[in-house]
Structure 1
Amino acid sequence: MFVSTAWTQNGYTWQLGAQMPEGRQELATGALNGKMYVLGGYEPGANSTATVQVYNPTTDTWTFAHDLPYPVNHNAAAVAGGRLYSFGAGAGEAFVYDPNSDSWSARASSHYVHSFTAAVGVIDDKIYVAGGTGTPSQRELEVYDPVANTWTIKAPMSVHRNHTAGGVIDGKFYVVGGRIMDSTNALEMYDPQTNTWSTRAPMPTPRSGIAAAVVNNELWVFGGEDVPELALHAEVEVYNPVSNSWRQEPDMTLARHGIWASVIGNKIYIPGGGAGASAISPTRTNQIFTPTQGTHLGNISTRAFVQTEDNVMIGGFIVQGTTPKRVIIRAIGPELSQYGVP
């Protein structure tokens, strides 16, 4: 019998990008053509804004795109088909941004409002919007088809929630955290093939007003608040759907709520957010997180002969991915003695 033990290790970093031109919280963001668009939110003084700030990671600079049709806060955003969408405003109005013309236009309104921050995901260029206030139970799921400009109501979630977040992994839509009164740690998964929800392992820390992003086929959840105490959170917790388990990563360097996350080039961008003891305390910070795939311990065994010199073959041992990795192998077993290895 040949036995080996392997670890893969990657680093992670928090860094600060250029500050936002204007502080805001309860915002939404979307990654489009390698840039991050920040839509709506509360400015200082609890004033809603229509401005759209655009961050270019290559030059570490901010510019402005055309304003939204009117000021919004607690909206949601998604990118599909090369365009940016904003949901959850007013009476359920939806708007689409065309980067080629730098203009917004109205689209079909959703059946429900989905305000106060719904969870959003994109599957096959269709946009899934779940939860938020303005729905009968704050559990409703709707799917927007940008080509047909139509909304379809799907099976509702089990948990009532607003101030929530979500992400898509392998064609499944995950919704985590949020609140009605107290913050929840509930995680649910929607399968569009069967139009059903299933309960997954709960997030370790109940939180709302969070940001979520998908990197390396894992769901990363950042920051948030605990209601009714209004305690801020800096936790970074990561869900792995294969093992249906969570792990803890290093905290955010600045605890915030009312945030949103966008992924560009395997980095997670989290701008703005509220950072004070009061409910409205918008910041201009622009935190950038380069995630890790985690450290994993695995036992791999094989009864096959192991070659010497430059070639070593271990049955069933595959390391995948494009990021750099370090693999440590420890080998023991009677098979090695015939090669002069004690």
Structure 2
Amino acid sequence: MFTCKFYIIAGVFFLCLVKASLVFAETSKIGTWTTASSAPSKRTEVIAATVEGKIYVVGGFNEPKLQNVLKFAISSDVEVYDPVSDSWSISTPLPEGRHHAGIASHNGMLYVIGGFTKSFLSVWHAVPTVYQYNPSTAKWRELAPMPTARGALGVTVYQNRIYAIGGYDGKHNSAAVEIFDPETNSWSSSTMMPTARDHLAVAAVGSRIYAIGGRFDLDYHHNMGTVEEYDPQTNQWRARAHLPTARSGITAGVINGWIYVVGGESGEGTFATNEAYDPVKNQWHTMAPMPTARHGLGSAVADGRLYVISGGPTPGGSFSQTNEVFTPPPANTTLSQ
């Protein structure tokens, strides 16, 4: 009798182990999320980038309080996350608060490009400013401005140049593609993006640059799934497979040659959606959704993981300290579309 019970219990335990392993295997195909140490302050519409292994989260809007009401809660904060120690520190603030700016990391420096600031009673005053941050001195300096003032733009680095693409100039969407050379502190212009838009994501993979999603004239009721690819060698654009879920207010990171596009907002709410683009096959794949749906979030890649920080859990003015980490599936994993 005892032996019979033992084998029944052992069999049930074995089946549970098999089921758990199958669930883990299936989950690992679409990646996994973990929660890291929360950011020091609640913010939204932030930007983020990795410099020398540390993640800098910059600007945006702070949660409104009496002490920031005169600034319309526009943030100049710079908070620094160390993934190794899972800890935060505070660094030198921006010379002036910015929200919906672009950001890039290049040669150990951080670049904050464009964005919006306040002007009279509006918080949508587009600016062309470029600020460079040196982590070794913790100091900012202002560089040559963009030719076109705009915010809610996309920024990426390709072959030692910083590309500033799209956005909103204060009156209309911009299709501008302007290229900054940090060595000469100068700008040049390139072929305009076919579809002008703001709140898009921009990423460089291999020898191409991708402009993904976005919206028309700051209106999240008019989201887009448009994906356009730019070839810097031929100076030409072409259309690629649409983002499966039309979104704006998104963020993106590149890991192992794939672009992971996360979050966003619409009139119906915020997105936890995480979709990955394979540029080689021109295919999209649905990945594990974020634990916390958000828009206006910042992201940065460190040690093969995507850190997704802050952002609003509801459309419009909402704020969080959330720091969630996505680990993608192994590069050789077979996925369905």
Equivalent residue number for residue 120 of structure 1: 155
Tell me if the contact between 1:113 and 1:132 (Cα under 8 Å) persists in the aligned partners: no
Using the alignment, how far apart are the partners of 1:11 and 1:129 within structure 2?
Answer: 31
Counting only pairs closer than 5 Å after superposition, residues 182-201 of structure 1 correspond to structure 2 as 182-201=222-241
Using the alignment, how far apart are the partners of 1:297 and 1:239 within structure 2?
Answer: 12
1:216 aligns with 2:253: no
Unaligned runs of 5+ in 2: 1-24, 65-71, 116-125
The structure-2 alpha-carbon separation of the partners of 1:118 and 1:128, relative to structure 1 and needing over 3 Å to count, comes to same
Q: Deviations over 1:295-329 (max 9, x none)?
A: 3279xxxxxxxxxxxxxxxxxxxxxxxxxxxxxxx
Instruction: Name the amino acid aligned to 1:31.
Output: T
Give the drift of 1:294. Answer: 6.7
Equivalent residue number for residue 266 of structure 1: 304
Counting only pairs closer than 5 Å after superposition, residues 24-35 of structure 1 correspond to structure 2 as 24-35=43-54
1:234 aligns with 2:277: no
Equivalent residue number for residue 62 of structure 2: 43
Q: Deviations over 1:223-265 (max 9, x none)?
A: 1012xx1521111111111111111011111100011211011
Using the alignment, how far apart are the partners of 2:263 and 2:234 within structure 1?
Answer: 32
| TM-score (norm. length: structure 1) | 0.81
Equivalent residue number for residue 245 of structure 2: 205
Give the drift of 1:178. Answer: 0.6
Q: Deviations over 1:258-294 (max 9, x none)?
A: 1121101100011000002x51111001011111137
Using the alignment, how far apart are the partners of 1:260 and 1:154 within structure 2?
Answer: 27
1:56 aligns with 2:77: no
Counting only pairs closer than 5 Å after superposition, residues 141-152 of structure 1 correspond to structure 2 as 141-152=177-188
Q: Secondary structure at the match of 2:312?
A: coil
Q: CA RMSD in A?
A: 1.9
Using the alignment, how far apart are the partners of 1:215 and 1:21 within structure 2?
Answer: 27
Equivalent residue number for residue 205 of structure 2: 169
Unaligned runs of 5+ in 1: 1-6, 299-342
Tell me if the contact between 2:59 and 2:78 (Cα under 8 Å) persists in the aligned partners: yes
| TM-score (norm. length: structure 2) | 0.82
Equivalent residue number for residue 327 of structure 1: none
Alignment coverage as a number of residue pairs: 288
The structure-2 alpha-carbon separation of the partners of 1:297 and 1:161, relative to structure 1 and needing over 3 Å to count, comes to closer
1:282 aligns with 2:301: no
The structure whose residues are more often helix, as a share, is 2
Equivalent residue number for residue 109 of structure 1: 145
Runs of 4+ residues deviating >6 angstroms: none
1:76 aligns with 2:102: yes
User: Which structure has the bigger radius of gyration?
Assistant: 1
Equivalent residue number for residue 310 of structure 1: none
Give the drift of 1:196. Answer: 0.8
The percentage of counterpart residues that share the same residue type is 33
Instruction: Name the amino acid aligned to 2:144.
Output: A
Which of 1 and 2 has higher RCO (CA within 8 Å, sep 6+)? 1
The structure-2 alpha-carbon separation of the partners of 1:173 and 1:11, relative to structure 1 and needing over 3 Å to count, comes to closer
Instruction: Name the amino acid aligned to 2:183.
Output: V
Instruction: Name the amino acid aligned to 2:242.
Output: P
The structure-2 alpha-carbon separation of the partners of 1:247 and 1:104, relative to structure 1 and needing over 3 Å to count, comes to same
